[in-house]
Structure 1
Amino acid sequence: MLYATSTPEAKRARFREALAGPRLLRVPGAFNPLSARLIERKGFDGVYISGAVLSADLGLPDIGLTTLSEVAARGAQIARVTELPALIDADTGFGEPMNAARTVQELENAGISGLHIEDQVNPKRCGHLDGKEVVGLDIAVRRIRAAVAGRRDPNFLIMARTDVRAVEGLDAARDRAKALVDAGADAIFPEAMRTLDEFAAIRDAVDVPILANMTEFGKSELFTVSQLESVGIDLVIWPVSLLRLAMGAAERGLDALTAEGSLAGQLDRMQHRADLYELLDYEGYSGFYADVFNFTVER
């Protein structure tokens, strides 16, 4: 009822422990708090909060238009309703290295379990679009060092994302991944890998957890969990998938309403009211109300 019973610190500790284990962690992207609760109920290992989804939720393209305060507020709303750890997209750290340090602290305050900061030029663009630009290694390293310096909870995960593969090639991505780990990154997110062999090359280059981004319609083939496990990947995200599924269903529903004048034919495609109420824990709220307000006022 209300929010998660676990503290942010406890969720971070469990996240670190799970990342250190032998099993690949499956982390779908939530597009709102309710979808985060559904991800938990379906037995996944964590919740991802995508910058692209946050931008789309505001009706904006994913080109660095969102602010730290917007991201932290939405991240807090999602993280606090689930017992799962939440990993969030912090773009380029929202400014200079000092901003990256503040970003870490604001997201710690929001109850997030970890973030990733990327090495694109600010403002960034979607990692699977052409024409990206990356900053020099010195700036990329300073961002990560600043983020690490700003951290207060040692279990808060600081992941470095690198977009170098699409700009300078795989060898450059390997070299940058190594440098980012040396700068203090707890994990590496190599964006827009094209093959399993490329993931394996990053895996061989560093000894920290590696994330695979399985976003649809992008540069990477949509590998299965077992395929990614076979090359040593530790964590996989599906960042925008639930939003795409939901928007596709919404569009089909609106088309049916236009064509038929009713949604009677769409009922079997909808979440039933009973299932929604169960997910929202209406019963728990009713019990709480009855337990707390169990007195009468004598007149």
Structure 2
Amino acid sequence: MSDLLKRALAEPGALVAPGIFDLISLRIAARSGFKALYMTGYGTVASHLGLPDAGLASFRDMVTRVATMADAAAEYGLPLIADGDTGYGGLLNVAHTIKGYEAAGAAAIQLEDQNFPKKCGHTPGRTVIPAEEMVDKIKVAVDTRRDGNFLIIARTDARTIHGLDEAIRRMALYSEAGADILFVESPESRDELVRIGRSFDKPLVANMVEGGRTPVLNAAELGDLGFKIALYPATGFLAVGAALTAAYSEMARRQGSAVDVPLHSFEDFNELMGFKDVWEFERRHARG
């Protein structure tokens, strides 16, 4: 297992990890200068299955996407942080999930303390399991991984239902259980972010969802508050949704090409997807 993510986290400031949800978004993000990528569960379930992020995707659905995305990210020398939901069941399932995600090439897995079926962290109706059950999940995850460079991210969704005190209490327990990175989901003010940043000496995740419950700050601000990873999971698929809505609406209106909508250059898109390598291969192996 590569130590790329560990090395990136050792650098000053907060590491920005954009949400990627398919191989097109991955390739575009990888060429944009980031040092890590985040496989968003919401976006991946939506793009792969056309379903809401509500516990409907299985371990098999997700681990196959992890493998494909981690392999593509490795082409660019980038680590992939992957959403592992609740571990897809009990302790035995968590162990199976850890083995699968690590073998698939993820640099880190995010596990959360929601009840199954889980829901997206910035949507209503979430409930959490007892903290002691999540402690056991973290211990199993740490014991199961084969390489210490495969990092365990412990996330709590307790803030929305039980308040920040309970979320911080849980984070302390998950940290003691061996989690490498701590993640309090959906704090609701800058003051809450400040308090979280002051409460722990392990790397902290801030989840920046446009339109979500948490104030959206930039990486410099988050780094100053004590956070080490700034996730922007929804930016990509929200941008794609807006762009496709504009393009397809214009196409339907005109009953033809959406000529007045910004489009990616076809030539550049061919290059992005690797057609130059195909053409070079064919040139080298052409007969005659």
Instruction: Calculate the TM-score normalised by the size of structure 1.
Output: 0.91
Alignment gaps of 5+ in structure 2: none
Give deviations 1:98-125, integer Å, cap 9, x for gaps. Answer: 2111101101111111111000111111
Give deviations 1:105-150, integer Å, cap 9, x for gaps. Answer: 1011111111110001111111112222111111010111111111
Q: 1:156 is matched with which residue: 150, 157, 160?
A: 150
Contact 2:13 2:220 in 1 (8 A): no
Q: 2:240 is matched with which residue: 218, 241, 246?
A: 246
- Cα distance in 1 for residues equivalent to 2:23 and 2:253: 32
**Residues 1:60 and 2:60 aligned together:** no
Alignment gaps of 5+ in structure 1: 1-8
2:120 alignment partner, SS class: coil
Q: Which residue of 1 aligns with 2:33?
A: 43
- Cα distance in 2 for residues equivalent to 1:221 and 1:263: 38
Q: Which residue of 2 aligns with 1:218?
A: 212
Change (3 A) 1:94 1:259: same
Q: Which residue of 2 aligns with 1:69?
A: 60
**Residues 1:277 and 2:233 aligned together:** no
- Cα distance in 2 for residues equivalent to 1:43 and 1:206: 29
**Residues 1:97 and 2:88 aligned together:** no
What is the letter of the counterpart of residue 11 of structure 2?
A: G
- Cα distance in 2 for residues equivalent to 1:125 and 1:294: 52
The offset of 1:271, in angstroms, is 0.7
Q: Which residue of 2 aligns with 1:78?
A: 69
2:87 alignment partner, SS class: coil
What is the letter of the counterpart of residue 63 of structure 1?
A: A
Give deviations 1:224-281, integer Å, cap 9, x for gaps. Answer: 22221220110111112211111111111121112111224235x1111111122123
- Cα distance in 2 for residues equivalent to 1:189 and 1:62: 18
**Residues 1:209 and 2:203 aligned together:** yes
Identical amino acids, percent of aligned pairs: 33
Report matched runs for 1:164-243 at 5 Å. 164-243=158-237
What is the letter of the counterpart of residue 40 of structure 1?
A: A
Q: Which residue of 2 aligns with 1:32?
A: 22
- Cα distance in 1 for residues equivalent to 2:14 and 2:210: 20
- Cα distance in 2 for residues equivalent to 1:81 and 1:59: 22
Moved more, 194-203 or 103-112: 194-203
1:117 alignment partner, SS class: strand
The offset of 1:203, in angstroms, is 2.2
Contact 2:13 2:219 in 1 (8 A): no
1:211 alignment partner, SS class: strand
Aligned residues: CA RMSD: 1.5
- Cα distance in 2 for residues equivalent to 1:203 and 1:63: 29
What is the letter of the counterpart of residue 182 of structure 2?
A: I
Contact 1:33 1:79 in 2 (8 A): no
How many residue pairs end up in the alignment? 284
- Cα distance in 1 for residues equivalent to 2:91 and 2:210: 31
- Cα distance in 2 for residues equivalent to 1:20 and 1:176: 25
